[in-house]
Structure 1
Amino acid sequence: TSGLPMKKVHMHGNNKTDEELKMCLDYEIGSIVIDNEEEIGRLSKICKEKNKKVKVMMRINIGIDAHTHEYIKTSKHSSKFGESIFDDRITEIIEKIVKDENMEFLGFHCHIGSQIFDTKAFHEGIESMVKETKKISEALGIYIPEINLGGGFGVYYTEKDTAIDVEQFMKSMIEHLERSLEAEKMKLEKVSIEPGRSIVANAGSTLYTVGGTKTTYGGVKYIFIDGGMTDNIRPALYQAEYEAIVANKANETAEDVVTIAGKCCESGDLIIKNGKLANAETGDLILVATTGAYGYSMSNNYNKAPRPAVVFVKDRKSALSIKKESFEDLVRNDVLIDL
């Protein structure tokens, strides 16, 4: 095991399986963030079967349309996540948790989306969370000790991005929270955030080897790499953009306009489209920055491609963290049958 205290673990998800919920109770994690009304009943049943109590929060959808890609907005009225604060039954739903003897209700969780640079959206989220907490608290006559404001703080990927200064922004969030609590005459015991990619994205890069190049009849110059949407699906999934360099030619001028393409049988298997690089040739190394957050964690075996290795580097020393998959690994779970 990792050795991390289980009380610091919190379980999210819009469709947790019974097996996952049972595992949460067995490991006695810190809390489960309930996503929807149906989950309340399933979790209660499992608690009774195991004769265990659990601390829970409720994910609520506060209806803020943050300025980010459509696929990573998580707080629109049509979002699959959480229960809407605009639903007439929201108080009734929370009351189910409060009255359940197997659950201890801690408070509310929200998350408005990912890769957000609009700080105003986070401030609006704070106001909505505080007001909703007070409303439910008064309606049910209970004290609600916690709120979790989620995350989504944007980081630098390309020159189009101006990363949020997390230290400065945290100060403004705290000030805004204090003003909101004062306006509503409320007190909280605990306020949490989930910084996510903002603390790990720029810590990681992906290193590819150039297998070949090709300039098409249509004028597109391709750089072919030994990876692609199998180790970084974000460009194909929601047009995420990155910057790269030819690592072994880092001091050369980046003048070639190229498209970096992967190995998969998909025209959309692109890592960078129309980016500028130094002249890249077979055998050169391409380094794509800012893959520490959603890189390996979203990797896959599409087209039966093995996942790459993960190497940690510090103070000129390196250590293998995850081994490169082999073709044998890909068929490890296959079962020989004779019908």
Structure 2
Amino acid sequence: MQGNPLAPVWLREPHDANALSAGLWPSSADRAETGELTIGGVTASALVAEHGTPLYVVDETDARDRATEFRHAFETEARRIGTTARVYYAGKAFLSTEVARWMIADGLNIDVCSGGELQVALAAGVDPSRLGFHGNNKSLTEIDDATRVGVGTIVIDSAIEIERVAAAATRHGIVQAVRLRVNSGVHAHTHEFLATAHEDQKFGIVLEDAPALVASIRREPGLRFLGLHGHIGSQIFGAEGFAEAASRLIAVHAALLADGPVPELNLGGGFGIAYTSADEPTPTGILAAHIIDAVATECATHDIPLPALAFEPGRAIIGPAGITLYEAGTIKSVDVNGASRLYVSVDGGMSDNARTSLYGADYSVRIANRVTDATPALVRIAGKHCESGDIVVDSDYLPGDVAPGDLLAVAATGAYCWSLSSNYNYLGRAPVVAVKDGESRVLVRGETIADLLARDTGFTSTRHAADGGQSTTEKKDTAR
């Protein structure tokens, strides 16, 4: 259907601007008889009444089903060719203690990439042996903590980390299992991938350097080499890039076998999801089958045993399970060359979703508190921050009668939205709630202005002096 000329070429004007496009929303998303959006059996208005806006909402059942689907698909396909596969949830997408518990309960391991993420996983009661630790600049303290608590694997990202991890392992009297992060020269994004001789990036080492560094690892009595680790990009829809990366990594893997065991191969993550109706991610089962087949083919070509495999999905598990709710504020029509779009401003923005301004990411939006038969209008959902680039949804269609006070829901915000959130313009970070079976519960408490001011030493010292040396809490207790 021909739409507004200001719309991007991929965006088509919908017949019904209330409809929830399949694949974009959590599996439980529906419209109640009143027209309200419901997630996990809870209406948008009920969620907002209890928790306010902006509000991140995660469908627990959807997230856990996706986690189980990934684990089952890769384990099944690996078993088919005679090997095993482990799936690590990439915690950087979104991590809380409860989400960590979901992933472990559903049979996944967890990948962390900072001391903070490590502490969240440990606070959740995760067995450290089920953790992998990434990072291109792990501090000495982070390395020491990881080895001390017994993290399952550490990904060596540079030559200097070999001696650092080895020293920490010796200090704690352990043998630390490690992987070596290598750059395959394959970079993939959505349907396309580029294969070059080298990648110009901060992560990992070039493939040609792998044999020398693996030899260094093997010389350290405190280290045990597991295998190579690769990561080719993010938001990837097809298997072709993974297949090319597997070809390059397995060639080096085969050569390394001459001097010792190489039990594993980790092909990373980056599996894509649908953010708009134009996105068509590859179904998990098909993706797993194609990648595993590529591994089998390359191992047969080199006449080597099949290694155990590992994969690290994050966005593909938690992204589609999440939405963000906002309240619409000011609305204005902007005319450009005879066409117009509505700018709908909401009570959040780049502080709760930085991806649009950082990466030019596209999202989809719907009115959450009602349905209407008004003619669809092209909209741009803008944030409230003092930045012209503060856009949440660049282009979508909403009913033309969208009004101040309407609740708006943005789909597929479970990954990298809360994780990248900030306090820009002194907005408190939004809470995260989980929904399931008609009930909601807080996963991460939202921040108030009082929380932000509590970190401002000028405010706290002034308040302390004004209270005669007592804190606000102490003064209230005295007043009683």
TM-score in terms of structure 1 length: 0.92
> Please, which of 373, 376, 397 is the counterpart of residue 255 of structure 1?
376
> Please, which of 204, 226, 232 is the counterpart of residue 112 of structure 1?
232
Contact 2:234–2:271 at 8 Å: present in 1 too? Answer: yes
> Please, which of 336, 344, 348 is the counterpart of residue 227 of structure 1?
348
1:81 paired to 2:199? no
Q: In 2 relative to 1, CA 37–252 (structure 1 residues): closer, same or farther, beyond 3 Å?
A: farther
For 1:69 and 1:20, the matched residues in 2 are separated by: 36
SS of the residue corresponding to residue 122 of structure 1 reads helix
For 1:8 and 1:300, the matched residues in 2 are separated by: 30
Deviation at 1:90, TM superposition (A): 2.8
> Please, which of 297, 305, 310 is the counterpart of residue 432 of structure 2?
310
Contact 1:158–1:243 at 8 Å: present in 2 too? Answer: yes
Contact 1:47–1:53 at 8 Å: present in 2 too? Answer: yes
Cα displacement string for residues 112-163 of structure 1 (whole angstroms, at most 9, x for unaligned residues): 000012321111111112111012222xx11100010101111111122101
Contact 2:343–2:382 at 8 Å: present in 1 too? Answer: yes
For 2:265 and 2:238, the matched residues in 1 are separated by: 21
- Of stretches 117-126 and 230-239 in structure 1, the one that deviates more from structure 2 is 117-126
For 1:133 and 1:120, the matched residues in 2 are separated by: 20
Q: In 2 relative to 1, CA 254–21 (structure 1 residues): closer, same or farther, beyond 3 Å?
A: farther
Q: In 2 relative to 1, CA 262–91 (structure 1 residues): closer, same or farther, beyond 3 Å?
A: same
Structure 1 unaligned blocks of 5 or more: none
**1:243 aligned partner:** 364
CA RMSD of aligned residues (A): 2.2
1:167 paired to 2:289? no
Q: In 2 relative to 1, CA 118–167 (structure 1 residues): closer, same or farther, beyond 3 Å?
A: closer
**1:192 aligned partner:** 310
Q: In 2 relative to 1, CA 80–253 (structure 1 residues): closer, same or farther, beyond 3 Å?
A: farther
For 2:456 and 2:139, the matched residues in 1 are separated by: 24
Deviation at 1:195, TM superposition (A): 1.7
Aligned AA for 2:257? S
For 2:153 and 2:245, the matched residues in 1 are separated by: 22
Contact 2:238–2:282 at 8 Å: present in 1 too? Answer: no
- Of stretches 60-69 and 272-281 in structure 1, the one that deviates more from structure 2 is 60-69
Aligned AA for 1:152? G
Contact 2:190–2:272 at 8 Å: present in 1 too? Answer: no
For 1:244 and 1:254, the matched residues in 2 are separated by: 16
Contact 1:144–1:188 at 8 Å: present in 2 too? Answer: no
Cα displacement string for residues 16-51 of structure 1 (whole angstroms, at most 9, x for unaligned residues): 111111111122111101111121122223333333
**2:243 aligned partner:** 123
Q: Percent identity?
A: 35
Structure 2 unaligned blocks of 5 or more: 1-122, 463-480
User: 5 Å matches for 1:1-339?
Assistant: 1-68=123-190, 77-85=199-207, 87=208, 89-138=209-258, 141-216=259-334, 219-250=340-371, 252=373, 255-278=376-399, 279-336=401-458
Q: In 2 relative to 1, CA 285–48 (structure 1 residues): closer, same or farther, beyond 3 Å?
A: same
Cα displacement string for residues 215-272 of structure 1 (whole angstroms, at most 9, x for unaligned residues): 2465552111111111111110010101110112345456111111111111111011
Contact 1:210–1:282 at 8 Å: present in 2 too? Answer: yes
Deviation at 1:104, TM superposition (A): 0.7
Contact 1:33–1:56 at 8 Å: present in 2 too? Answer: yes
Deviation at 1:191, TM superposition (A): 0.4
For 1:157 and 1:274, the matched residues in 2 are separated by: 12
User: Which portions of structure 1, spanning 4 or more consecutive aligned residues, are displaced by more than 6 angstroms?
Assistant: none
For 2:265 and 2:428, the matched residues in 1 are separated by: 41
Aligned AA for 2:332? K
**2:24 aligned partner:** none
Question: Which has the larger Rg?
Answer: 2
Deviation at 1:53, TM superposition (A): 2.5
Deviation at 1:76, TM superposition (A): 5.8
For 2:375 and 2:424, the matched residues in 1 are separated by: 31
